[in-house]
Structure 1
């Protein structure tokens, strides 16, 4: 007679996400997750092949959350306002789950990388706004520029690397305003 399941894949992923946020990626191990869900590590292998698969599941859950978060940003008729709202939402997401946010930008081994379709879906709101701002010929370039600026700023902010004083919120608003102006096609 088979033994009853003591945990679920959802519980495993949630435990892994909690460990990631509280202890960091280095501490996200099969053993730590097993302890968190109340089973022995070998039991996890029934549901998750290895640590790379676990990291992938966490990345993918994060991307699904990010996609929902960004798609929930209300759209207006003004692409500049839409970009500002989207970048504020991205920043709020990063502050709410900083380790998970960093994970989606971390270079991990190929088996731990999230599905490209999920990355694309999470990027779709930005790509749509970038197309509105630049026109279809420069959408990808604009989206990459926006992402690089926002991620760089957010990463520095989360690392407490702005040491010269001043208002960081104001600096973020300044940056997104001027970035938006720089990439908007002339009318």
Structure 2
């Protein structure tokens, strides 16, 4: 008679995601995940070949969630505010997918492409087809940078952080919206 299944891949990824938020990436070990789901570590290897793949699965699940959360975003402010709320709710997962350290396993391309659909749609609506990718990268970089600095406590000069967020978001959106949709001239020496 076969051994009954004691855990599922979804339960393993959820446990690893929870550990990521509680202990950081260093705390996401096969032993800790096994303890969390109530199995011995060798049992995990029936579902996940190693820690690197486990972290990649967490990154992929995170991007799937981000894609779902941003799917109905109505413009750059809605999209950025949704990302910011996600970053505050799941800071370690946000960092895992937006600013991974060198050597950290990352999600596969299909997950990154799917999670990017909303930002590309919003950017296309803002600047047109020709520069949608550039606009998406610019908006993503500003949003991820602000959120990462905010989560890390880097804004220490005082002032109203909410006002700074709104100011930056309004300015970056206005700058993108006013950009020339055609090919820009080559930089001069």
TM-score (norm 1): 0.91
Point out where structure 2 has 5 or more consecutive residues left out of the alignment: 181-189
Q: CA RMSD in A?
A: 1.5
Q: Tell me what 2:178 maps to.
A: 185
For the pair 1:92 / 2:91, whether they are aligned, the reply is no
Residue in 2 that maps onto 1:123:
116
1:9 and 1:47 in contact (8 A); partners too: yes
**After TM superposition, which residue ranges in structure 1, 4 or more long, deviate above 2 angstroms?**
107-110
Report 1:92-171 matches (<5 A).
92-105=85-98, 106-107=100-101, 109=103, 112-171=105-164
For residues 18-37 of structure 1, what are the structure 2 equivalents within 5 Å?
18-37=18-37
What is the Cα deviation at residue 117 of structure 1?
1.4
Shift of 1:92: 0.4
SS at match of 1:103: helix
Compute the displacement of 1:108 (Å). 5.5
What is the count of residue pairs matched by the alignment?
179
Verify the 8 A CA contact 1:131 1:138 in the aligned structure 2. Answer: yes
CA–CA distance in 1 between the matches of 2:51 and 2:103? Answer: 11
Equivalent position of 2:187 in the other structure: none
Question: Alpha-carbon deviations, 1:49-105, whole Å to 9, x = none?
Answer: 1001100110011011101100133x3xxxxxx111111111001111110011012
| More helix per residue | 1
Match of 1:68 in 2: 68
Q: Secondary structure at the match of 1:137?
A: coil
- CA displacement at 1:2 relative to structure 2: 2.4
Partner of 2:3: 3
TM-score by length of 2: 0.90
* 1:113 to partner: Cα distance: 2.2
